Amino acid sequence: MHKLTTFDSLWGGIVARYQMDIEQHLFEMQILVLDGGEMSKCNLSCSGVTKIEFTDEVREPWEYIDLTSIEVKPALLRGEPAWRLEAELWSSMSRLTLECAEVRLNGVAVQRTVPSPEAADKGGKGRDEAKKGPRDNGR
């Protein structure tokens, strides 16, 4: 499986806010990223959350949360299409993992795509991509 290139722009961002609504099965995170010399806010929302896990082997308090890396991959939950989000916070020793039905970045739902016939003929694999959102990181 491929990580979503759309989420690469969040790497190295700072988690400014996060919230888990257990009643609504909703996890939200606001991430500050440097974009062409300007600070911008990205909103990540995961709905239909069925699993969330935080692992931290560092055990020291943090002054802020560095989003070292993030990957969003397609998954199956009870036979239904879903998403698995894996984030490194500061280091590989601090991880956030969750599984959910839907992922949105800046209000735009991540969509599954199928490989084009040309890519399939060349041995390429389909990628999951988010539809172009309101901001472009120029990457």
| 42-65 pLDDT per residue, tens | 999 999 999 999 999 878 888 899
Q: Is residue 41 part of a domain?
A: yes
* Alpha carbon 23 to chain centroid, angstroms: 21
Copy the structure tokens of residue 12. 């190295």
**Cα separation, 90 vs 65, whole angstroms:** 7
**What pLDDT sits at residue 113?**
61
Domain count, the chain: 1
| Cα–Cα distance measured from residue 101 to residue 16, given in angstroms and rounded to the nearest whole number | 24
Does 139 map to a domain?
no
pLDDT at position 27 over 90: yes
Q: Phi, psi at residue 48, to the nearest 5°?
A: 65, 35
Expressed as residue numbers, the domain containing 46 is 5-130
Let me know if residue 135 belongs to a domain.
Answer: no
Q: Which residue has the higher pLDDT, 16 or 133?
A: 16
Residue 82, pLDDT > 60, answer: yes
Task: Answer whether 115's CB lies under 8 Å from 126's CB.
Answer: yes
pLDDT at 1 over 80: no
On whether residue 60 sits in a domain, the answer given is yes
Residue 7: band (very low, low, confident or very high) from pLDDT cuts 50, 70, 90 = confident
